[in-house]
Chains A and B, each alone.
Chain A
């Protein structure tokens, strides 16, 4: 598809037998020179024309040279002034020019100089008078140069010394039609009007058939439009949720502000456990205490104090109900797992649950630490589940998260036994990195809630790190900084 200008120029070239130059084309097409050049480049990129460029050294008049050509050389102005008996300072020459003019006039034998009363007096010689009516070789040369005629080198040098001419490097372009271009011309070129925008009117009256839309420079930069989107953390959460759902897990939910009972005691964490310290846990000021189910609390109390009615020693201390009634911001979503277990009936099994939610740690905010972050937890409640199954689920789960090289290591959590730490291999760092904790809930946790010792497989992967890596964040606080500019430039989460 050729633009209107391209068509015009091709037509001109065709008329000129396929050979021309930009000046000529501009003259004939009546297009501005810049437009001709730009269009020629487009045509050449379409291989319709060849633009042949050569550098040529050219003589040109300087500004002074141009003035001299119009007004005469200064030596001529000078002798004319003498003839007209004008005072020397009214000739419009500078002191320097005047001295140069006197020098040249004297060398040429145009003037006679007398000294009268300490000042110089000039008079024209016959030669001088004659010179007034004829052109000097310099004048002729100036004129020739301005008309691009060839001029004697001595004169050129003389004029160059007087800074009336200079040597310039010019580009000379010759334009040829290529074979393709010639074919295009032969096909016949029809020139129609060019329009910048299509309008509803044109569509209505079908005028669009008679016009050509002006070409756009598709390479030029434009203002970028960024799409609105869900928050990038939520995009990653959706991905995690999808993994759980695909593996047949059912979502569980529960409070973010919960009693210590569900966050710690039901998970068999002794009441003097360091994780329950004020340093790690946010305690609620008002209301300070919540209600706990007395029947369940008795069972948990017995389990802590002496292992209840199962074959456990318990922790062997005096359990305090009041401590378990204190409200806290949950430190893990495992509180939801134990809440869920407490509602299950034997006929519900086997069943698998997951949760995703905010958890809280009373830590100083810095580039590595947040006081609240997302955690996800999953449990499998199955009479026949075992340790190998836990490893199987973990392996599948991590494969889905994109980790193929993984390692299982013994670990410790107060509420699981056996406990596993899962490492993934970081290729870039060449080392194992901890990713998640897992285990089988202890009988001390399960029996009071389910009434029976059923294996409950549990794991809780962190996904903060994969989120940071995916989005290329370097400071964990960027997650909740809500910098609109940064957020709209982040990539969309496409893992899944």
Chain B
């Protein structure tokens, strides 16, 4: 989640009301953001569904409503103008969507500049998925000759990028300019790259990488052109509207841009409020409240919605054009609950009868653990992720096909464990400085092979100077007899057990595990200088054999 920092004086001045820190921290927490602190500046984590709260103007706008300082939506005023442009069909396969708008009469004091930079950067990272989905360019309007065009250019096309004093080709920018290097992968698969260009052939920007130096904003700039491009039309429109909200609150005058796309004219920005119907009964049922139309309307206005009408249990709600998160009436219901105040709901437990019940394999596992502890074995617990060296190489067990992850950050833990036995040995290795005997066991999920069938295994080892086959067999015998189970053994060969001192374990002819003395070669691989005898069994298989008995 993105963290944003707001200057407190500026925040209070935009809020239009002096508020003490206590109230501020309480109200900011209850509006639906994670407050980090209010002193000396305000730091909040904004949830990803509310990009409109990323700017100080947007945040204070919402808080003004929530705190009852102002209510209802912002009434935007868009001047129709003659600014025009076109979207070249060539961009379709590269970066298909573009919108723009003009803002005039901006006073470029420090606050405005800082706020504009911050919202641009935060939108890029979050809402814009690191510029992939949405990229924003801000230009000095008075350097641009309209009409403009959003098109693509080959990689040898050149212009002067921001903060440079000479022409660079697109290829050079992507290889040498800091921004080019940082975002080059977004364009790596395309022969031609997106370019905004004006009627004089001057480049405005190369989205989503860099603007041209020619149109850069200076302290003398009064009028802006905003270009927004991306891969998702709705997302770039929201980004545009969020930025315009901030500039409008700062006193900017919004002028329209007509963009011709596929022979059709699109007028931007679209700051109209979409209407959604909210059934009062739906809202009340979800919230467990009994609010009237007026009360609900009032709460929605606190959240800065408009209400076009309310009658017969139905409210027609107007959604502010910067609210990217309203997909369904349920989203309005949530805002009703926030405005009502979570602290004002009275928690209640309904009187419904339900029966609690555990999975019977969990009961079985618990009983297994109890018996093992009764044998005076200590339970250990290893990570489910391990690695090939432990699971295969050290165990001399090269026939298995392991389930590996593709992208593990910790290379020591990149493979799903196929057996518990190697991890039991690893545990013994990390305890060699403590006294013996060390008798341990582990119960847990393993994924034996690439069929991805998850099983519960039990692995159990005795480790002391005289640990041998007979002793571990005695333990196994006692374990199974505790559950009233008969088993048989069959002499077997396993790379990790000593030949002639290992067997497979069977119940009713079904192989359920193996047992033996660990091969000294394996002990050597693990650097363990103490004899170990062990067994490992498939509890899921045993459980299947007699689950009726457990389920009673």
Residues of A within 8 A of B (CB): 228-231, 233-234, 238, 241, 244-251, 253, 255-257, 272, 274, 278, 282-288, 290, 307, 310-317, 327, 329, 350-352, 358, 360, 362-365, 371-372, 382, 384-389, 391-396, 407-412, 414, 417-421, 440, 442-444, 455, 479-485, 487-488
A314 and B342: CB pair below 8 A? no
B347 and A388: CB pair below 8 A? yes
| Secondary structure dominating the interface of B | loop
Choose among B32, B350, B353 the residue with the greatest number of A CB atoms under 10 Å from its CB.
Answer: B350
Complex Cα–Cα for A288 and B361 (A): 29
Complex Cα–Cα for A387 and B385 (A): 39
B348 and A485: CB pair below 8 A? no
Interface segment among B322-330, B469-477, B531-539: the answer is: B322-330
Q: Which of B345, B355, B434, B439 contacts A250 (CB 8 A)?
A: B355
B232 CB within 8 Å of chain A = yes
Complex Cα–Cα for A69 and B491 (A): 87
Closest to B358 in A: A251
Residue contacts A-B, CB under 8 angstroms, 28 given: A228-B376, A228-B378, A228-B439, A238-B366, A245-B357, A248-B353, A248-B355, A250-B356, A253-B361, A284-B403, A284-B406, A286-B403, A311-B329, A350-B354, A351-B354, A352-B354, A358-B445, A371-B383, A389-B288, A389-B348, A391-B347, A410-B337, A412-B50, A417-B334, A419-B334, A420-B342, A481-B430, A482-B431
B349 CB within 8 Å of chain A = yes
B327 and A444: CB pair below 8 A? yes
Would A329 and B359 be within 8 Å (CB), given that A287-B452, A311-B328, A487-B378 are in contact? no
B113 CB within 8 Å of chain A = no
B404 CB within 8 Å of chain A = yes
Would A228 and B377 be within 8 Å (CB), given that A384-B350, A386-B288, A411-B32 are in contact? yes
B14 CB within 8 Å of chain A = no
B427 vs chain A, min Cβ distance (A): 4
**Known contacts A371-B408, A421-B34; can you find 19 more A-B pairs with CB under 8 A?**
A228-B375, A251-B362, A256-B384, A312-B327, A315-B327, A351-B354, A365-B413, A371-B385, A371-B413, A387-B287, A388-B288, A408-B342, A408-B345, A411-B32, A411-B34, A417-B328, A481-B430, A487-B380, A488-B378
A410 and B31: CB pair below 8 A? yes
Instruction: Specify which chain B residues have a CB less than 8 angstroms from the CB of A248 in the assembled complex.
Output: 353-356
Complex Cα–Cα for A34 and B133 (A): 90
A480 vs chain B, min Cβ distance (A): 6
Contact string against A for B residues 377-418, beta-carbon threshold 8 Å, 1 for contact and 0 otherwise: 111111111000000000000000101111111100100100
B220 CB within 8 Å of chain A = no
Choose among B289, B329, B362, B381 the residue with the greatest number of A CB atoms under 10 Å from its CB.
Answer: B381
B447 CB within 8 Å of chain A = yes
A151 vs chain B, min Cβ distance (A): 62
Would A392 and B347 be within 8 Å (CB), given that A231-B381, A257-B416, A272-B133 are in contact? yes
Instruction: Specify which chain A residues have a CB less than 8 angstroms from the CB of B403 in the assembled complex.
Output: 257, 284-286
A455 and B410: CB pair below 8 A? no
Complex Cα–Cα for A312 and B431 (A): 58
B29 and A409: CB pair below 8 A? yes
Complex Cα–Cα for A251 and B361 (A): 11
Choose among A233, A238, A310, A386 the residue with the greatest number of B CB atoms under 10 Å from its CB.
Answer: A386
Instruction: Specify which chain B residues have a CB less than 8 angstroms from the CB of A362 in the assembled complex.
Output: 405, 407-409
A396 and B349: CB pair below 8 A? yes
B438 CB within 8 Å of chain A = yes
Q: Which 9 A-B pairs have the closest CB atoms?
A: A412-B47, A386-B288, A410-B32, A388-B288, A391-B347, A418-B334, A312-B328, A392-B349, A392-B347
Instruction: Specify which chain B residues have a CB less than 8 angstroms from the CB of A282 in the assembled complex.
Output: 385, 405-408
Choose among B334, B338, B343, B403 the residue with the greatest number of A CB atoms under 10 Å from its CB.
Answer: B334
Complex Cα–Cα for A444 and B232 (A): 21
Closest to B452 in A: A257
B549 CB within 8 Å of chain A = no
Instruction: Specify which chain A residues have a CB less than 8 angstroms from the CB of B383 in the assembled complex.
Output: 371-372, 480
Instruction: Specify which chain A residues have a CB less than 8 angstroms from the CB of B385 in the assembled complex.
Output: 282, 360, 371-372
Choose among A245, A250, A285, A312 the residue with the greatest number of B CB atoms under 10 Å from its CB.
Answer: A285
B384 and A285: CB pair below 8 A? no
B550 CB within 8 Å of chain A = no
B117 CB within 8 Å of chain A = no
A457 vs chain B, min Cβ distance (A): 10
Complex Cα–Cα for A387 and B346 (A): 10
Q: Which of A229, A251, A253, A358 contacts B373 (CB 8 A)?
A: A229
Would A283 and B407 be within 8 Å (CB), given that A249-B354, A386-B288, A417-B334 are in contact? yes
A307 and B350: CB pair below 8 A? no
Closest to B336 in A: A418
A444 and B328: CB pair below 8 A? yes
B65 vs chain A, min Cβ distance (A): 14
Closest to A233 in B: B381
A484 and B377: CB pair below 8 A? no
Closest to B359 in A: A251
Instruction: Specify which chain A residues have a CB less than 8 angstroms from the CB of B409 in the assembled complex.
Output: 362-364, 371
B447 and A388: CB pair below 8 A? no
A421 vs chain B, min Cβ distance (A): 8
B156 CB within 8 Å of chain A = no
Complex Cα–Cα for A400 and B329 (A): 34
Instruction: Specify which chain A residues have a CB less than 8 angstroms from the CB of B454 in the assembled complex.
Output: 255-257
B443 vs chain A, min Cβ distance (A): 8
B294 CB within 8 Å of chain A = no
Complex Cα–Cα for A298 and B175 (A): 43
B440 CB within 8 Å of chain A = yes
B266 vs chain A, min Cβ distance (A): 17
B354 and A483: CB pair below 8 A? no
B452 and A482: CB pair below 8 A? no
Complex Cα–Cα for A257 and B32 (A): 33
B404 and A284: CB pair below 8 A? yes
Contact string against A for B residues 434-478, beta-carbon threshold 8 Å, 1 for contact and 0 otherwise: 100011100001010010101000000000000000000000000
B410 and A364: CB pair below 8 A? yes
A316 and B232: CB pair below 8 A? yes
Would A388 and B287 be within 8 Å (CB), given that A228-B377, A231-B379, A257-B454 are in contact? yes
Choose among A272, A278, A307 the residue with the greatest number of B CB atoms under 10 Å from its CB.
Answer: A272
A410 and B338: CB pair below 8 A? yes
Instruction: Specify which chain A residues have a CB less than 8 angstroms from the CB of B447 in the assembled complex.
Output: 256-257
Instruction: Specify which chain B residues have a CB less than 8 angstroms from the CB of A313 in the assembled complex.
Output: 327-328
Instruction: Specify which chain A residues have a CB less than 8 angstroms from the CB of B359 in the assembled complex.
Output: 251, 253
Complex Cα–Cα for A278 and B405 (A): 11
Complex Cα–Cα for A330 and B403 (A): 14
Closest to A272 in B: B129
Complex Cα–Cα for A283 and B416 (A): 11
A466 vs chain B, min Cβ distance (A): 18
Instruction: Specify which chain A residues have a CB less than 8 angstroms from the CB of B178 in the assembled complex.
Output: none
B30 CB within 8 Å of chain A = yes
Instruction: Specify which chain B residues have a CB less than 8 angstroms from the CB of A480 in the assembled complex.
Output: 381-383
B21 vs chain A, min Cβ distance (A): 14
Closest to B357 in A: A250
A488 vs chain B, min Cβ distance (A): 7
A164 vs chain B, min Cβ distance (A): 57
Closest to A373 in B: B383
Complex Cα–Cα for A317 and B385 (A): 35
B312 CB within 8 Å of chain A = no
